[in-house]
Chain A
């Protein structure tokens, strides 16, 4: 009897484990199926480097270059803000802060991760947007910069929690060794702790980027959604995710517009896949050292 239960449980666990693989493959297959005919008919090059996104005109024009640029700009901006703050916070929590501060800070950061993105978007719309407009004297505050700021806010918890784990799992012997050799605290942190925790920190940053590039609601509310190629971070942009979310409701199934949105999803999927792949490559290299 015990043996049977054992076997049954093993099968159940195996099935659950395989489910995630099956889901990823199915999602990929579905995206590919929906977008393949569109990419073939419209032309993948025209799709990616086209400057004009007018999906409902006659004849429609599906060029997503400006949308890709929008996503890239917002994501880069968010990373530039979130990575230094996130990594420093993680360092502070695990290396410098006294026990009491550390516990409070840690749970507060985790609480930050629980804020829904609509709430962040809404708060950003009524606070950050007017502030950005006034400080930089812009025609409108609905810009890539405001979006990047709010997204950084969402990526920080991810970056902090995971890099904090990596930093605190650096063996204490390393640190004590360095301190014993006369290194200052900053030297120890920079040369020993950061270096040893680097793979974990990079993984944290990559996960943060993943969160930012896929974020939809907050971006849609804050970035202004103008489908032009931005020349600076202080201009409105339209991201790929916001385009899919804003337009999916209107499209008729199997229509050209519907498929083009799936094709955007496909491009987005390929981009995140590449980001993860690069992160893996980097991590693998680091482990061999």
Chain B
């Protein structure tokens, strides 16, 4: 009998609480506002997750009472959560789109942009692939399935397996705009239907690592000895640039893009401190250490 009473009390208390939460979303809203004081939610581009992670680790060392959580998912995901008010800072590898800005306006969100670094996109192939340089036009034809065999670009007689990121990725968007559409706003070029959509840059790296027919694009930070990065030229006459820091900074490597942070309205409190930290010399040195190019010339340490 006592057990039953306890059970009933438990059920009714639990039920009341859940009903309260269901009917008074205001409760959760209050929590949201206090969150801005000491904890920051950062979401967005997979490409710069490592950079932001490095920043937050160092930032938290200086301000131990604040709490930063960093999640990837793609720039699109980041903007979606900025608009849905589920994050404080969006990290993005592209500018906010018109469509997103419009939706933000409707929901009363004012995205403010900060440029934090520059990234080169590397085109990776398997180590055993003889091809080591391509022009932008060849790349465009490959990703639009006009070139489907490696022998057409000087390789073996094998089918090209084209790897792309999912459409929620800023890397996907940027590659489409820079390579497929050649920065032409009126172009409607799209990735071919036959390209495999991979859910992360790591997945692209893994497939390129084990498949000698594969070709995919990732952030420059992913280049290492396991795979081969392709040197790219704008056209045959120009020199081919290998994706490294120097070539990205002096513009010799054509596929590079700025990286951004976005906040809702002018930042204040911890968010402002974090962004100041990111743009400081110390922050920009971390940019350099995570294989991206800083936005300003740094004094040699």
Could you say which residues of chain B place their CB within 8 Å of the CB of A133? Answer: 211
Cβ of B214 under 8 Å from chain A: yes
Stretch of A39-47, A48-56, A164-172, A271-279 lying at the B interface: A48-56
- Chain B residues within 8 Å of A, Cβ to Cβ: 1, 4, 8, 11, 73-74, 76-77, 79-80, 83-84, 99-100, 103, 158-161, 166-168, 173, 188, 190, 193-199, 203, 206-207, 210-211, 213-214
Q: Is there contact, CB below 8 Å, between B199 and A140?
A: no
Could you say which residues of chain A place their CB within 8 Å of the CB of B161? Answer: 139-140
Complex Cα–Cα for A11 and B160 (A): 64
CB closest residue in chain B, given A57: B190
Complex Cα–Cα for A22 and B142 (A): 51
Could you jot down 6 A-B contacts, CB within 8 Å? A139-B213, A246-B166, A249-B73, A249-B74, A249-B168, A250-B167
Could you say which residues of chain A place their CB within 8 Å of the CB of B79? Answer: 252
Q: Is there contact, CB below 8 Å, between B77 and A249?
A: yes
List the 10 shortest-distance A-B pairs measured between CB atoms, nearest first: A250-B168, A250-B76, A228-B193, A225-B197, A139-B159, A224-B196, A249-B77, A140-B161, A56-B167, A139-B161
- Give which listed residue, B11, B80, B206, contacts A125 with CB less than 8 A: B206
- Chain A residues within 8 Å of B, Cβ to Cβ: 5, 8, 12, 52, 54-58, 66, 125, 129-130, 133, 139-142, 220-221, 224-228, 236, 238, 246-247, 249-253, 255
Q: How many A-B residue pairs have CB under 8 A?
A: 92
- Give which listed residue, B103, B190, B197, contacts A255 with CB less than 8 A: B103
A228 to chain B, nearest CB (A): 4
A252 to chain B, nearest CB (A): 5
Q: Is there contact, CB below 8 Å, between A251 and B80?
A: yes
Complex Cα–Cα for A52 and B192 (A): 10
B97 to chain A, nearest CB (A): 9
Q: Is there contact, CB below 8 Å, between B193 and A252?
A: no
Q: Is there contact, CB below 8 Å, between A140 and B103?
A: no
Q: A125-B206, A139-B161, A139-B213 are in contact. Are A253 and B194 (CB under 8 A)?
A: no
Q: Is there contact, CB below 8 Å, between A227 and B193?
A: yes
Could you say which residues of chain B place their CB within 8 Å of the CB of A54? Answer: 167, 190
Q: Is there contact, CB below 8 Å, between A227 and B206?
A: no
A219 to chain B, nearest CB (A): 11
Could you say which residues of chain B place their CB within 8 Å of the CB of A58? Answer: 188
Complex Cα–Cα for A66 and B195 (A): 14
Q: Is there contact, CB below 8 Å, between B199 and A226?
A: no
CB closest residue in chain B, given A139: B159
Could you say which residues of chain A place their CB within 8 Å of the CB of B83? Answer: 252-253
Q: Is there contact, CB below 8 Å, between B84 and A253?
A: yes
A114 to chain B, nearest CB (A): 25
Complex Cα–Cα for A250 and B299 (A): 39
Q: A139-B213, A140-B211, A252-B84 are in contact. Are A226 and B196 (CB under 8 A)?
A: yes
